[in-house]
């Protein structure tokens, strides 16, 4: 009986989670001016460091192993660069609005959930901090 209850609960959680990942969400990703001037350099690195972006995505945003434990599983933050295994395998371009959608709403270009993206941490991010963060990402993720 206990095994049946555990299996039913596991099945419920699995299918509920799966349905969130295939659902398309409607959001209005705002268009923001992304600064390119040198005054923003210190702020953008500070925002990325304090928000822990490199914990999941790595120092160069090429991906990072977050958890590798037989009991917990394997979780890695994705490669956000245009290098091998990065964005170029899924997309041909990435706009500023796509960054806003991913950072503030936890959604990909198709408006579907990004797995494990803690957008709740970034949703209330100040406009100038969001602009600086996107500028910092673009330093690493722009096509070369």
What share of the chain in percent tops pLDDT 90?
8
Answer whether residue 56 shows pLDDT above 60.
Answer: yes
Q: Under CATH, which number does the domain 27-141 receive?
A: 1.10.760
* Per-residue pLDDT tens over the stretch 23-50: 777 777 777 777 777 666 677 778 888 8
Average predicted confidence (pLDDT) for the chain: 82
What pLDDT score was predicted for residue 68? 94
Beta-strand runs (E) in the chain: 64-69, 73-77
Answer whether residue 144 shows pLDDT above 60.
Answer: no
Between residues 92 and 112, the one the model is more confident about: 112
Integer Cα distance of 96 and 48 in angstroms: 16
What share of the chain in percent tops pLDDT 70?
90
DSSP 71-106: TTEEEEEPP-SSSTTSGGGT-S---HHHHHHHHHH-
Range of lowest pLDDT (25-34, 52-61, 105-114): 25-34
Structure token pair of residue 118: 């803690």
What pLDDT score was predicted for residue 88? 65
Domain boundaries, the chain: 27-141
Residue of 70, 73, 60, 82 whose CA lies nearest to 115 = 73
Answer whether residue 73 shows pLDDT above 80.
Answer: yes
Residue of 81, 80, 76 whose CA lies nearest to 103 = 80
């Amino acid at each position: 009986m206990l095994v049946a209850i555990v299996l039913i609960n596991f099945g419920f959680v699995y299918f509920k989670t799966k349905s969130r990942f295939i659902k398309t969400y409607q959001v209005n990703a705002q268009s923001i001016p992304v600064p390119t001037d040198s005054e923003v350099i210190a702020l953008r690195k500070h925002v990325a460091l304090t928000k822990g972006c490199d914990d999941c995505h790595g120092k160069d945003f090429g991906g990072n192993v977050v958890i590798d434990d037989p009991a917990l599983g394997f979780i890695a933050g994705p490669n956000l660069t245009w290098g091998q295994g990065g964005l170029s395998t899924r997309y041909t371009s990435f706009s500023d609005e796509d960054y806003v959608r991913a950072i503030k709403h936890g959604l990909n270009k198709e408006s579907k959930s990004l797995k494990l993206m803690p957008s709740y941490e970034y949703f209330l991010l100040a406009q100038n901090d969001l602009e600086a963060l996107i500028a910092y990402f673009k330093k690493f993720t722009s096509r070369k």
